[in-house]
Amino acid sequence: MVLSVAKLTSVTDYLVVCSAETDRQVRAIAAHVDSTLSVKRVFPLSTEGASTGQWILIDYGDVVAHIFRTDTRQHYALEKLWSDARRVRVPADMSSAPLASLRPVRKRSTRARQHG
């Protein structure tokens, strides 16, 4: 699920929320996201929670990915917390989606630096 939160917070523009059944699957998803974007020279500003695998947060500045174990996702219910956020439609087949629009991320966006 992708949530557009730009109008609700100055921290990021989008939240990506997904889940998996096991810690190992959560870590595998996070590793795949990191390796796929690294090939495109898009690097995270920070990564949290990788050692436990229950909830991994990968901060790309304008996009923050939350990768949960299913029970942890239900417990924290980010979808309810951000219920005012607009849901962004994601194509079912991302293999044809262009990654060219992603620019290398080296520092936090201007808006985020100004607000915190």
pLDDT digits (tens, 9 = 90+) for 94-115: 655 544 444 444 444 444 444 4
Q: How confident is the model at residue 92 (pLDDT cuts 50, 70, 90)?
A: confident
Query: Residue 82 pLDDT more than 50?
Result: yes
Average pLDDT over residues 72-83: 95
Q: What percent of the chain has pLDDT over 90?
A: 74
DSSP code of residue 94: G
- The C-alpha atoms of residue 21 and residue 32 are separated, in whole angstroms, by 16
Average pLDDT over residues 62-73: 96
Give the model's pLDDT for residue 95: 55
Domains observed in the chain: 2-88 (3.30.460.10)
Give the model's pLDDT for residue 99: 47
What are the tens digits of pLDDT across the range 9-55? 999 999 999 999 999 999 999 999 999 999 999 999 999 999 999 99
